Structure 1
Amino acid sequence: MGRIWKSCLQSVLKLVNSFIGMVGMAMIVYALWLIRVWQREMGKLPFDSGSPAPWFIYASLGIGIFLCVITCSGHIAAETGNGHCLSCYMVFVFLLLLLEAAVAADVFLNHDWEKDFPDDPSGKFDEFKDFVKSNFEFCKWIGLLIVATQGISILLSMILRALGSDQVRDYDSDDDYAVARLPLLRNQAQVPPCVVGEPHFIPNSDSWNVRIHDKTNK
């Protein structure tokens, strides 16, 4: 029964983790599109050292790659059920949650939060900010869904790690019982082996001497 529950939790973790991967791939595609637009507007490569770096494009690309790496590690951890892999996956997701919480706290608590970010020469950061303001409800629910997905993935990883450690304890207890039973087997009386075959009779020396003596007297 425990194996069935564990396989179900692994499948759910893979499903939840796939949503994080989809968000990462969407951000990578969005960043590549921004790079293409920036290249067309500038008339040269966006990685040219002569032009200021469009940090918003690089940040979107980096976050998307990081989310895809988290998704790959989550699928490996869910498939193997290894405690170390699950711990690394939980650390990655927890660090991502801390980063998101820090950015959200800075935006909502600091009225001059825009000054904390450098100027974006591409202007895509301002366009993204205007899009969020005009579609605040939609973006809010998307953000809450992403955060909830990350929290559920951490919870499922903790449950899978706990189930794995319980199975290890069961195996250890079985070994202890086996070792405890060995002395009882050793103290049992050794039964001599039974040999199956024709019986062998040992001749009696006294009866043999009597027969010889009778024959000599005759």
Structure 2
Amino acid sequence: MNDLQRAFQYLNDPFNWTRRGGILDLLHDHLVVSAVAVLAAMVVALPLGVVLGRARRGSGAVVVLSNVSRAIPTLALLTVFAVTPVGFGDRATMIALAVFAIPPILTNTFVGFRGVDADVREAARAMGMSGGQLLRRVEAPLAAPLVLTGIRTAAVQVVATATLAALVGGSGLGRLINLGFGQRDYGVMYAGAFLVAALALLTELLLVVASWAVTPGQRRLPFRPVTRASVERGQPEPTASGVPL
């Protein structure tokens, strides 16, 4: 029996899913760590991106902050946290992953709000909208596709990177990979890697559907080709780059 067969056998055993500390428990912990990290990054990045994007200034600061955050390896942060009061475990992983998730959310939020047409803003103000109404009813819907793309990118990256929690005493699906590698049981290691990859793909799919659902304007199913009939019904025809005319 080769390693891939052992991985399939491991995943096909209900006991490995339901036992204490099994796959379901590790999956729950993995999702909690990832969700908290992304939400923490959103709390920091979204307001900052909205303020700077609406003011249309601070692009240099956003670029510098994003580049600096990307340049810091998550594993290096976890190593630094080990000698600070943060210590090991899931809390250190959440903080490190939140830092890792800030750049794509901040950058896309800034670009999305900065890209709202000035004429649209002026037209909304001419209609008597207040600053809050302009933000909620005009700018936020128009910037939503880019903002959600940043959140989706950050979420997928965090889900995939949360496996590092196992290296600092944390929980999550990374424990299967760490356990399999440590015991030279590559079937278990492959099973853990498969679960992490499947979870990242599922996260991507769910957030693509959510982005499609909240995007304003006429919609068509993602990846569905545009037909002549849909164009005649008034749906926008995409250009060669995929952006509607």
Q: Same fold (TM over 0.5)?
A: no
Report the TM-score when normalising by structure 2.
0.29
From the CA coordinates, give the structure whose radius of gyration is larger: 1
Q: Which has the higher contact order (CA 8 A, sep 6+)?
A: 1
Report the TM-score when normalising by structure 1.
0.31
Which structure has the highest helix share of the two? 1
